[in-house]
Structure 1
Amino acid sequence: MTDSLRLPHYLVVTVGTAGDLFPFVTMAQALQRLGRRVTVLTNRVHEAAVLAAGLPCIGLGTVEDYERLIANPEVWDPRRGLTLLLAQYRQGMPELVDALTSAAAGDASTVVLAHPLAVPGAAVARELGRVGTVAAMYLAPSNLRSCEDPMRLGPHAIPRWVPQAWRRALWAMVARGWMDPAALPGINEARGLYGLAPIASFLGHMAQAPDLSITLFPAWFGRTAADWPQPLIEGDFQFPPAAEAPLPAPLAQFLDLGPPPVVFTPGSGNVHASDFFAQALVATQRLGQRAVFLTRERAQVPKLLPAEVIWQPFVPMASLLRRSAVLVHHGGIGTTAEALRTGTPQLVTPFAYDQFDNAARVVELGVGLTIPAKRLRAQALAQRVRRLLDPAFRAAAADVAARFEAPSAETALAAAVDRFVRAHARGSP
């Protein structure tokens, strides 16, 4: 068999919103540039975007199921949101295992690069001998369990004086009291369908199942912790090329007519942000600032907008931020990274998931402020945006943006992953 026939086929699996999708698509494109065969598996609602990126795609679930999930307001609750996602294993895992089996087409050397929530399904496919290596790709530092500082559980920061034994006990309590009851019934039911033994711990399985862990953020944003899974490849933020595309004509004309605006977005998947935009409008008018409201759902935005405010659906984020004064956003890792790259001061208003930890890291870098979405009111919003208009924040953000001046690391990361995968297939260390 020639070396070309032994080149791995990568199955890149991600779930969630566009913010979860684009870094995985960027990684898939980098692998494709290396001459590797790549197939993306993701929510069917994103299928067109993947195909437009020049990648084969297998859609999972239905558009209706996706829209039904994000239509539930509890999906943005700090506690109940993750519970809702973990409950999807009962329905989604068998479909994922079957899709991986079909895509691998009998080649047991196939490699799965999985979003953490897709790891249990990928592990089943590997245990059945249908795929080879399983690698987990982590979008944000808080996606990896750690007892090291900074340790945060959702909106709660664990004080630095708390000893390690207590931290381990706290994680055990969170696992037994919250995550295991939500995740294990569906996971173990699916494992039983394939004659596999049940797992006893969701977090333990997530840490131990991957053959490799990959961080899709730089060490200066999230320092590698000693208790993160090994082996681990430290990566970098992954940016889609479309982020630098030309802006739509109406938006470009709006930007030309006045000073840089404040940009407001609650994230691509948030359809429950009417109050966010209502408070933003009042705050903007108090400040006398121009503003851009970004959301796919026009119904979330106040019906009547003054001439100083424009609504837009999805736009090339980097291109917009390079012409903006401040970004007010939910704290998704993709949006956070774009603001860091463009040197844009940020006000992070976290709703759930990794957003609280991302917000804290933005504050620690000195490039932004934060206020939880549940406490977002026009007066506090205006006060913080006014602070962020201080040139000191712009200067600090520019210093951080300078860290991105090196050539793009997407191909280098893909090459490092490919080297590991091929060595692992040969049984090399």
Structure 2
Amino acid sequence: MSTHGSHGDVLPFVALGRVLQGRGHEVEILTHAPFAPIVEQSGMTFTPIDTAEEYDRNLADTPPLLASGLERWRAYYERNHLFDQITFETNHLINRYIPGKTVFVGRHTTAISTLFAGEVLDAPTAWVAVTPIQYMSERGIAHMYARTMSDHLDGLRAGLGLPPVADWTAWFASAHLDVALWPEWFDRAGTPAPRRVRLTGAPLGDDTDLPELPAEAVELLDRNAVLLTGGTGRMLHGRFYEVAVEACRLVGRPALLAVRHRDLVPEKLPDGMRWFPRLPFPQVMPRVGAVLHHGGIGTLIRAATAGTPQVVLAHGFDRSENGARLTAAKLGSWLPEARWTPEETASLLTDALAQPRTSVPADHGLTAAAEAIEELAGSTVAYSARHLLTRDLRPRLHRLVNVYGPTETTIWSTTWEVPAEPAEPRIGRPIANTQVYVLDRRGGVTPAFVAGELLIGGAGVAGGYHGRKDLTADRFVPDPFGPPGARLYRTGDRARWRPDGQLEFLGRLDNQIKVRGFRVEPGEVEAAILTCPGVDQAAVVARGDILLGYVVGAADIADLRDHLERILPQYMMPALWTRLPALPLTISGKVDRKSLPDPVPERAAAYVEPRTDAERLVAEIWAEVLGLDRVGAHDDFFTVGGHSLIAVRVAARLRATIELDVPIRNLFTRRTVADLARAIEELITAELGDLSEEEAGRLAAP
């Protein structure tokens, strides 16, 4: 699990991890260094994503951003090395993955490393949100990523073998599970969460390792005191405690001031107010007359379930949203920062103290969230739309709609309501104000069952490609069936009408192929290959998730790879090369791609039998994941068909076989079987060197 932020963002994940651990699961939490003690005392594995000093600087740098423009967010990420942090998290998750046994869980919108790693490994992923504003601001955050950070993030993705994110809003909705840690009544009190989100109820904070209730606090509670708290962190408006403390003085009621950092509150406190760095909230909250707080959802839910009247001084859109929901549910009142005065706050606090106590449920909380995450456990492939269309998974959903459409027609153009027992997937019928046609090569409408090119018209058709008049003229054509000036977009997709009036998608008209999420035009790769000296002919095809290259000529394969690496992106590089005396041709003289033989990799070195146990282990795993009959001691991983995604699989297989974490970078720096085997032996030797004599003796015993 990966999470970021203050205590209100991290502690719910610690509590969720504790529940999952209690249900028999191993849990590792990646978060900020200061949270190590609370994670480790629960028996969970802790991995810091920063140092305590870096975390403090990050928190100190955050408040000015709450009302800042987009340009300051990128500077904030760069200044606090957050792009490096994302890279570290992603690589760590990839290295820790065990197929069929691992689920990546991340804080919604910030822990993007979980979705990156999930894409690379085709692993199940879950977003967990702790407050409704996370979903309400999803589009805004997606816009911020696209406008200010896409170059950094797409560069990271390219290194993982992933394509750029074309639509960040859609990408944020691509997790296989979305869990919201708040109750239904709170969701109904404002903008509800998207339909894809599963509301599981709210955690009531961390009830382990609670302090004793001080005698001074008991005395104040017996006098129906007010509880004043701004949460556990420092991310508060500078005037919060100044206004809140003075409001309590004006009311004249005893007060418990719960704040970890004494320097945040006025040095001199009113008579009857006592400062406590920590209090056992489960005992305190039901006994206070009212609570005056900052609007954090943890405090809000704790008070609501205890029936304690609340007043919120809200700063920032997230706390303001929580305050508005509280008021809508008739469980308290709130003030925006512009209206913070001791007098108005005192008036609301006086009203709250006179209100009757009304409690509401927290719903099922962390148990329901853990059960939802457990449903993903054991998945070895993504729980994606293509799987949801199968007969096995469709019955689990109340309703499923398959939506089709290219970006050039504003994404959504047709929809298909998937029946309870679906046959082959369809793309359905056009949505409102949209027209679709299946046309033959001469522009005529095809009858049912006859395939043609799918063209789309209507209100959603874009104006064209910016600065590309030639491409616009080719893809956006006059609409012969519409009013004057109307246009159709040529999708390049093959489709046909079914007798029931539904469209069936049949693939691409051109030779475009898709490899690991990238659209690749084989002709572009072939043209690049032909620029290498010694290549007379070239052909490129896709098999599974790799590209295969076929060449005719005397060019050295190693020289060819070096040449292409300078002019092609990694995803367009063929993984396996086969030299042929001539390319097979059709009767019309075109390359007969269906007749190209299975790849026979041309190795740079003569075959050498693996000689040690480590070499034999590496060779067997390479052969297994690459689908080869044999691999020699001097074979290069990338020459025999490896790429970044397969490197991840190799590392996972090594870990599952010998329980050793082999960093993926070793496959890029130790590229031959012999070199990687030596690296593994060095890692094992280092681990043995760390053992005590007693541990070594137990391992050596028969």
State whether TM-score is above 0.5: yes
Q: Write the mapping of 1:41-190 to structure 2, written as runs, cut at 5 A.
A: 41-72=30-61, 74-75=63-64, 77-79=66-68, 83=73, 89-104=82-97, 106-107=98-99, 109-129=101-121, 132-145=123-136, 174=140, 178=144, 180-190=146-156
State how far apart, in whole Å, the 2-side matches of 1:57 and 1:316 are: 25
Give the aligned CA root-mean-square deviation in angstroms. 3.0
Supply the AA of the counterpart residue of 2:322.
Answer: N
Counterparts of residues 237-256 of structure 1 (less than 5 Å): 237-242=202-207, 245=210, 247-255=212-220
How far apart are 1:353 and its partner, in Å? 4.6
- For the pair shown, which has the larger CA radius of gyration, 1 or 2? 2
Residue 299 of structure 2, aligned match among 320, 329, 335: 335
Contact residue 243 and residue 317 of structure 1 kept, 8 A: no
Residue of structure 1 equivalent to 2:501: none
Structure 1 residue aligned with 2:194: 228
1:140 alignment partner, SS class: coil
Task: Pick the aligned partner of 1:214 from 161, 179, 186.
Answer: 179
The one-letter code matched in structure 1 to 2:73 is T
In the superposition, relative to structure 1, how do residues 177 and 138 fare at CA in structure 2: closer, same or farther (>3 Å)? closer
How much identity, in percent, do the aligned residues show?
A: 23
- Report SS of the residue matched to 2:28: strand
Q: Which residue of 2 aligns with 1:18?
A: 7
User: 1:180 Cα shift?
Assistant: 3.2
SS class of match (2:127):
strand
1:302 corresponds to: 266
> Partner of 1:214: helix, strand, or coil?
strand
Letter of the 2:96 counterpart: A
2:254 maps to 1:262:
no
Residues paired across the two proteins, number: 380
Separation in 2, partners of 1:321, 1:57: 31
Name structure 1 gaps, 5 residues minimum. Answer: 1-11, 146-152, 154-170
Contact 2:143–2:168 (Cα < 8 Å) also in 1: no
**Cα offset, 1:62, TM superposition:** 1.4
Deviation at 1:204, TM superposition (A): 3.0
Per-residue CA distance 1:40-60 (angstroms, 9 max, x = gap):
111112111111233221111
Matched residue SS, 1:71: helix
Summarize the Cα distance change of 1:382–1:199 in structure 2 as closer, same or farther, 3 Å threshold. same
Q: Which has the higher contact order (CA 8 A, sep 6+)?
A: 1
Cα-to-partner distance string for 1:211-264 (whole Å, 9 max, x where unaligned): 11111112221149888263x4331102345279454425534435x5122222
Distance 1:381 1:414 in 2: 39
| Deviations 1:140-177, CA, capped at 9 Å, x for gaps | 222114xxxxxxx7xxxxxxxxxxxxxxxxx97x5686
Give the superposition deviation at 1:271.
5.2
Q: Is the 8 A contact 2:102 2:378 kept in 1?
A: no
Aligned: 1:326 with 2:290: yes
- For residue 30 of structure 1, what is the aligned residue in structure 2? 19
The alpha-carbon distance between structure 1 residues 175 and 275, as it changes in their structure 2 partners (threshold 3 A), is closer
Contact 1:292/1:311 (<8 A) preserved: yes
> What's the CA shift for 1:128?
2.2
Q: Which amino acid aligns with 1:414?
A: A
1:194 match: 160
Match of 1:156 in 2: none
The answer to whether residue 28 in structure 2 is matched with residue 39 in structure 1 is: yes
> Quick check: 1:411 aligned with 2:403?
no
Return the TM-score normalized by structure 2: 0.50
Bigger helix fraction: 1
CA 1:244 to 1:342, structure 2 compared with 1: closer, same or farther past 3 Å?
Answer: farther
* Alpha-carbon distance in 2 for matches of 1:190, 1:136: 21
Structure 2 equivalent of residue 203 of structure 1: 169
Does the 8 Å contact 1:183/1:202 carry over to 2? no
1:277-318 deviations in Å (ceiling 9; x for gaps): 222222122111111222222111111223411112233323
